[in-house]
Chains A and B, each alone.
Chain A
């Protein structure tokens, strides 16, 4: 199914949940909706599914206006955050239920249910009840039920968020394989940038009911068109600080100056917003024009093999993404190094002016 949304607005009780949103999804693609909680992802999914109606705007499926059409008449499957299965039916009967509703012949049902169960790795559990299974298995059952229908559109609303992080990792890997189907449009919502990157496909970044940026996932990441997109689509968020350009020099935090290097020489005088990705900051100088900053440690977050170091430079908070496990004392002082040639430059309003060179080549 191809999906076109034209100027969709949804107002609930005086609050605008979706604000003049227009999107165009091609059939057979894997689309990721990325945004924080309350960005409008679930509301949008409900509108797409037909569980709710937009206050204004049109939705076209395969070119046909389906805006008022109830979900029963659309060929849609949905997987939710909470593992939703019929508790009094076995896994087999759960998966078979949409086929039964479509009045498919019994002889065919068995085959299709088994094939889908194998695909999701739950064939051994077909005769068990959902509540006897672990969280991951229950969610797989829900996904099997969504898949077996061979719907034109499959919606997944943060399906992995209630699982242990390891399970989430594993299921995520299987996700692309499982859900890549010929004509089916798959829309997957998440609030974690790393998940969007892991899933690939196309990403639409949402914020407060608006589309911030849309495109192939890696591209949206590498080439954000606004400071907002850059900060929403990176975890930890990109470090942003405002600075002033005057006479070949950049000043920020009223104290730090560094000369404009060749890439940035063309910038006219004025105020700008600068961005530097957390993993480009380091504890050791790596390039000739690195800027040294004295900072104090706020918190060191350790995740397996990497460390996210939160520091403070006067008024500016920054995050560093370091490889390896490092222990730091809270309030310790240390120097960090900022490679000036990897700076992003935005207007004070957030529009992109300059992407650092290596990213631009990507």
Chain B
């Protein structure tokens, strides 16, 4: 078991970093409770692979501490950290059979051959590799190779966390689902902490109990897929999760109303006073395309927009509307009728989010 804690952790590849942009990972505090499945989700260059390397020990952070079950492990090398890692490209020992590949870590630890045989058989069965045990690892397909990589981590009794660095990148699309199912099964059976790095929100949401969204070297939100979808704490989370991402419109506060161009929307008094005390430089409202409604009749708080286009996505339609200087997307059912030129949109208050300088405003 491993609870992984990061205290004041930061990393810069430069000797003496001065500004934020010098850091690959800006100072952060984070705890991953033991035994869960977690995803580290973010776009290329956000620092997620760096963070994973720090956790595995392949990289020593320039600042801060990494703690496993309360013990500082900054200078403990990977081979002593009781972790296993599965990389983007399947890493297998070409000259060995699948059996020997799986046995390799145990042989290095001088475990008895008898024990090795039992363990390897057990892991091979879970991963559905039993029929391939005698085969040379070189001739396997990409997904089989990844399973062998994973297997090498599972054979060891001392593994308390498995780290995955975008492991499904080279796998054929129609085999990805199978491997994802396998990973979930493994987690249930072995109950190990698993941290999975990816840029794909589908993979993250499917695999993880909780997702840490990373942006520009910072973890901007740590929550369940549902929380990330329904309550994004940061505009980046709203943008990155969901296809298409959240709509953002710049607004100005006037009394208890938000002014968006020519339209006005009322908001709760508490929110308005909160906003006044924050007095942000930039105020945005966010609403997901799934929650944007096409108003049936004109009413006071309907917003006027011009229809720019409709995309038929098969199971649903995406309506693109011009609202002042912004482009809003709304998700419509496949059978819903689409207006021609002008359209009235409504933003249900319960689904409307306010962002002051990119951070969610809550009361």
Q: Do chains A and B touch in the complex (CB under 8 A)?
A: yes
Q: What chain A residues lie within 8 Å of B242 (beta carbons)?
A: 304-305
Complex contact B44–A164 (CB within 8 A):
yes
Q: Which candidate, A99-107, A122-130, A191-199, A333-341, is the interface stretch facing chain B?
A: A191-199
Q: What chain B residues lie within 8 Å of A192 (beta carbons)?
A: 173
Complex contact B290–A299 (CB within 8 A):
no
Complex contact A298–B181 (CB within 8 A):
yes
Interface string of B157-189 (1 = CB under 8 A from A): 000000000000000111001001100110010
Q: What chain B residues lie within 8 Å of A358 (beta carbons)?
A: 335
Among B45, B229, B314, point to the contact of A325 (Cβ < 8 A).
B229
Q: B244 near A: Cβ within 8 Å?
A: yes
Complex contact A167–B314 (CB within 8 A):
no
CA distance in complex: A36, B174 (Å) = 9
| Shortest Cβ distance from B329 into A: residue | A173
Interface string of B309-336 (1 = CB under 8 A from A): 0011111000000000000000000010
Complex contact B200–A134 (CB within 8 A):
no
Interface string of B288-322 (1 = CB under 8 A from A): 10100000000000000000000111110000000
| Shortest Cβ distance from A323 into B: residue | B290
Q: A330 near B: Cβ within 8 Å?
A: yes
CA distance in complex: A219, B251 (Å) = 41
Complex contact B206–A299 (CB within 8 A):
yes
Residues 150-205 (chain A) with a chain B CB within 8 angstroms: 164-167, 169, 191-194, 197-198, 200
Q: B205 near A: Cβ within 8 Å?
A: yes
Among A164, A277, A299, point to the contact of B184 (Cβ < 8 A).
A299
Q: A327 near B: Cβ within 8 Å?
A: yes
Complex contact B229–A304 (CB within 8 A):
yes
Complex contact B173–A37 (CB within 8 A):
yes
Complex contact A301–B188 (CB within 8 A):
no
Among B245, B315, B335, point to the contact of A277 (Cβ < 8 A).
B315
CA distance in complex: A279, B290 (Å) = 16
Q: B43 near A: Cβ within 8 Å?
A: yes
Question: Which bracket fits the contact residues of B?
Answer: 35 or more
| Shortest Cβ distance from A38 into B: residue | B172
Q: A27 near B: Cβ within 8 Å?
A: no
Complex contact B314–A197 (CB within 8 A):
yes
| Shortest Cβ distance from B291 into A: residue | A305
Q: What chain B residues lie within 8 Å of A302 (beta carbons)?
A: 202, 205-206, 225
Complex contact B225–A325 (CB within 8 A):
yes
Complex contact B313–A194 (CB within 8 A):
yes
Q: B2 near A: Cβ within 8 Å?
A: no
Q: How far is the CB of B297 from chain A (nearest CB, A)?
A: 25
Residues 268-293 (chain A) with a chain B CB within 8 angstroms: 277-279
Q: What chain A residues lie within 8 Å of B241 (beta carbons)?
A: 304
Q: A234 near B: Cβ within 8 Å?
A: yes
| Shortest Cβ distance from A299 into B: residue | B181
Q: B199 near A: Cβ within 8 Å?
A: yes
Assuming the contacts A197-B314, A301-B177, asked whether A169 and B244 have C-beta atoms less than 8 A apart, the reply is yes
Q: A321 near B: Cβ within 8 Å?
A: yes
Among B44, B245, B315, point to the contact of A321 (Cβ < 8 A).
B315
Name which of B172, B241, B243, B313 has the most chain A CB atoms within 10 A of its CB: B243
Complex contact B43–A166 (CB within 8 A):
yes
Assuming the contacts A194-B313, A321-B315, asked whether A330 and B184 have C-beta atoms less than 8 A apart, the reply is yes
Q: A83 near B: Cβ within 8 Å?
A: no
Question: Which bracket fits the contact residues of A?
Answer: 35 or more
Complex contact A301–B311 (CB within 8 A):
no
Q: B99 near A: Cβ within 8 Å?
A: no
Complex contact B44–A134 (CB within 8 A):
yes
Q: What chain B residues lie within 8 Å of A36 (beta carbons)?
A: 173-174
Q: A66 near B: Cβ within 8 Å?
A: no
Among B184, B206, B290, B312, point to the contact of A305 (Cβ < 8 A).
B290
Q: B134 near A: Cβ within 8 Å?
A: no
Q: B201 near A: Cβ within 8 Å?
A: yes
Among B177, B288, B311, B312, point to the contact of A310 (Cβ < 8 A).
B177
Complex contact B202–A234 (CB within 8 A):
no
Q: B240 near A: Cβ within 8 Å?
A: yes
Q: What chain A residues lie within 8 Å of B229 (beta carbons)?
A: 304-305, 325
CA distance in complex: A167, B46 (Å) = 14
Assuming the contacts A165-B200, A302-B202, A303-B201, asked whether A218 and B312 have C-beta atoms less than 8 A apart, the reply is yes
Complex contact B43–A303 (CB within 8 A):
no
Q: A33 near B: Cβ within 8 Å?
A: no
CA distance in complex: A200, B312 (Å) = 8
Complex contact A197–B312 (CB within 8 A):
yes
Residues 314-336 (chain A) with a chain B CB within 8 angstroms: 321, 323, 325, 327, 330
Q: What chain B residues lie within 8 Å of A298 (beta carbons)?
A: 181
Q: A221 near B: Cβ within 8 Å?
A: yes
Complex contact A330–B188 (CB within 8 A):
yes
CA distance in complex: A198, B315 (Å) = 12
Complex contact B45–A165 (CB within 8 A):
no
Q: How far is the CB of A234 from chain B (nearest CB, A)?
A: 7
Complex contact B199–A165 (CB within 8 A):
yes
Q: What chain B residues lie within 8 Å of A37 (beta carbons)?
A: 172-173
| Shortest Cβ distance from A192 into B: residue | B173
CA distance in complex: A218, B240 (Å) = 27
Q: A135 near B: Cβ within 8 Å?
A: yes
Q: What chain A residues lie within 8 Å of B311 (beta carbons)?
A: 197-198, 200
Complex contact B44–A304 (CB within 8 A):
no
Q: How far is the CB of B295 from chain A (nearest CB, A)?
A: 21
Complex contact A304–B205 (CB within 8 A):
yes
Complex contact A325–B205 (CB within 8 A):
yes
Q: How far is the CB of A192 from chain B (nearest CB, A)?
A: 8
CA distance in complex: A165, B244 (Å) = 11
| Shortest Cβ distance from A280 into B: residue | B315
Q: How far is the CB of B248 from chain A (nearest CB, A)?
A: 14
Q: What chain A residues lie within 8 Å of B288 (beta carbons)?
A: 305
CA distance in complex: A167, B188 (Å) = 33
Q: A352 near B: Cβ within 8 Å?
A: no
| Shortest Cβ distance from B244 into A: residue | A169
CA distance in complex: A303, B312 (Å) = 19
Q: B107 near A: Cβ within 8 Å?
A: no
Q: What chain B residues lie within 8 Å of A166 (beta carbons)?
A: 43, 199, 239-240, 245
Q: List 12 A-B contacts (CB under 8 A).
A: A36-B173, A166-B43, A169-B244, A192-B173, A197-B313, A218-B312, A221-B312, A221-B314, A277-B315, A299-B180, A325-B229, A327-B226
Ranked 10 nearest A-B pairs via Cβ: A304-B242, A302-B205, A303-B202, A301-B206, A325-B226, A279-B315, A299-B181, A164-B199, A218-B312, A305-B242
Residues of A in contact with B (beta carbons under 8 Å apart): 36-37, 134-135, 164-167, 169, 191-194, 197-198, 200, 217-218, 221, 234, 277-279, 298-305, 310, 321, 323, 325, 327, 330, 358
